[in-house]
A and B are shown apart, each in its own frame.
Chain A
Amino acid sequence: MSKGTLRQLLLLTDGCSNSGEDPVAIAALAKEEGVTVNVIGIVNDGEMSEHGITEVEAIAKSGGGISQIVYARQLSQTVQMVTRKAMTQTIHGVVNREIAQILGEEKEMEDLEPEKRGQLMEVVDELGETLDLEVFILVDTSASMKNKLPMVQEALVDLSVSLRSRTGNNEFALYSFPGKRSDIEKLISWTPHFDSLAGAFKKMSTSGVTPTGPAIQEALRFIRNRMKKRGTDEDERFDLEEAGM
């Protein structure tokens, strides 16, 4: 298998969307386009509503990714774990699809005897280590997030430390929502690592609306454009896009 790219959208939020399209639907669209959506819900003291938690889980589920609710201070370890776990899961999904093609419908890794499963897992691990990864990070900066942003900043630098240790290449982009004029606002454009995010969140206006759906929509547009631009000079890619991930 030739080297390919895994694409993830990582959403960090502390509550419910209250404006625009349904984020769960947009996440489903992302999955169709080969972008995995992971969501981390950040709480302070169990302040997140039942509704908010349900939405966080629903977005990740329909986006083919992983969700986790955490306290702000546990954020660092969670962010890197969710990202890695989602990578493995995505690759696992592709491998399962291949198995289904070879062994017939309804067969997947779990239906193999443990010995064969072990050999496949070696491949999954290997790919997780060597594939390129692009993470589009979308941070909710509505008013209630303000005191959590330093923790978010730290967690993202930590994520960069973790992913840099992989063999494959990484690219990150950092956007916040809601933006001043548009749905999302660029904080840092595609970069191989975050050295320091000091000041990254400084110039943001914190507002009361949380347009999660439109924000994911807009993020997808950026990811799509980038894929197009890259697609022309790299024709051989790991076909996650068509894998129905």
Chain B
Amino acid sequence: MKMRDSISKKQECKLFPNQRIIGRWHRHPYRIVRELGYGATGTVYLAESESGPVALKIARDSMSITSEVNVMRHFSKVQGPSLGPCFYDVDDYLTKDAVFPFYVMEYIQGESFLPFIRDRGAEWMGVLVVQLLNELYRLHQIGWVFGDLKPENLLVADSPYRVRWLDVGGMTRHGRSIKEYTEFFDRGYWGLGSRKAEPGYDLFSVSMLMINCAYPARFEKNGTPGIGHLMGKVRQKQLLAPYEAVILNGFQGKYQSALAMRTEMLNIIQDNSFNRKNKMNRAGSAKVATNRRAYRKNVTTAKEKHRWTGVYETMLIGTFLLILYILYLFGQ
């Protein structure tokens, strides 16, 4: 057997802007625009295809590329509106002395997850997490687990704002062992569960995702057993305070499904925005706009309440007068 690559000196396939590559099997041409990012399993480029911009992932190791393509193909069969990027093509790029397998998928434009929340305000964390839980629920329903859930693998797409995921490298069939993970988001790392692919594994990561919003630099485990340490961190941040119970339940695997966690998140967000209606005047144009909208809504509800109370009072007095009048008539 050929030793393909020891990890320590893995050869990368470096492509340059304007470089044209043509697949060995399907002969589709692609023109590289720029690098979008790189991860453990390869480099992703923005490229121009015959039918528009695409994302192209290329690597040295055919095993991981093939595995990811398998996952993507699976979803292109069952896809409703986008669980992840759509899959377009898989092929090999031949150079003089090597073969680089690559695949081509939808290019999703959007903002990075953490900066988006940082720039637009804390209320977005709850909203995006609720959206994410909905997507996760659908994924779990068809027997898959996301696995490597972290902000780097998420993107907030524009109009309407919607959280989408980018990387399917960690996606694992229900019941198997998680293919790829990142320690901070991994319940095994914190000593709080196994690495078996099940909905609870992803929900743990969702709790950690919220913690990551408050601690962008993340942190490592210390001597104290997992849950005490983590909940201590949660209590130190105001951003996380309203969600303390949800985060804890996520850690303890208390939710039957992503939907149950979503419902609780929703309840908290709804209560929370009522409590805070008076202290909403922060800087930032986007925030001001949303706040103003929220404020206006709160004012209207208050006014409405007022009007309704008035109507009741009038009716009550009216009834009282009517009874008096009837009594007066009977007295006659």
Contacts and interface: CB of A to CB of B under 8 A. Distances in A.
Interface string B6-29: 111100000000000000010000
Contacts of A162: 177, 188, 195
B91 interface: yes
Interface string B87-117: 0001110000001010000000000000000
A122 B71 CA distance: 10
A187 to B, nearest CB: 22
A146 interface: no
Interface string B45-72: 0000000000000000011001101100
B188 to A, nearest CB: 5
B176 A167 contact: yes
A165 B178 contact: yes
Contact of B8 (A57, A93, A124, A158): A57
B255 interface: no
B6 to A, nearest CB: 5
B175 interface: yes
A149 interface: no
Interface string A220-245: 00000000000000000000000011
Given A122-B70, A125-B67, A163 B177 contact: yes
Contacts of B101: 110, 114
A121 B189 contact: no
A158 B188 contact: yes
A188 interface: no
21 contacts: A61-B3, A64-B3, A66-B6, A67-B8, A68-B8, A82-B7, A108-B2, A109-B62, A114-B66, A114-B101, A117-B62, A118-B66, A122-B70, A125-B70, A161-B194, A162-B188, A165-B176, A165-B177, A165-B194, A165-B197, A245-B1
B63 A129 contact: no
Interface of B: prevailing SS: mixed
3 closest A-B pairs by CB: A93-B1, A165-B177, A121-B66
B196 A165 contact: yes
A53 B6 CA distance: 12
Interface stretch (A9-17, A84-92, A134-142, A178-186): A84-92
Interface of B: 1-4, 6-9, 25, 62-63, 66-67, 69-70, 73, 90-92, 99, 101, 175-178, 183, 188-189, 194-197
A173 interface: no
Given A67-B7, A118-B69, A124 B63 contact: yes
Contacts of A158: 188-189
A114 B175 contact: no
A88 B189 contact: no
A97 B164 CA distance: 40
Interface residues of A, number: 43
Contacts of A114: 25, 66, 69, 90-92, 101
Interface of A: prevailing SS: helix
Contacts of B195: 161-162, 164-165
A60 interface: yes
A44 interface: no
A121 B63 contact: yes
A68 B6 contact: yes
A90 to B, nearest CB: 8
Contacts of A97: 1
A113 B1 contact: no
Interface in A152-182: 158, 161-167
A76 B121 CA distance: 36
A217 to B, nearest CB: 22
Contact of A66 (B7, B183, B196): B7
B24 to A, nearest CB: 9
Contact of A121 (B6, B8, B70): B70
Nearest to A117: B66
Contacts of B69: 114, 118
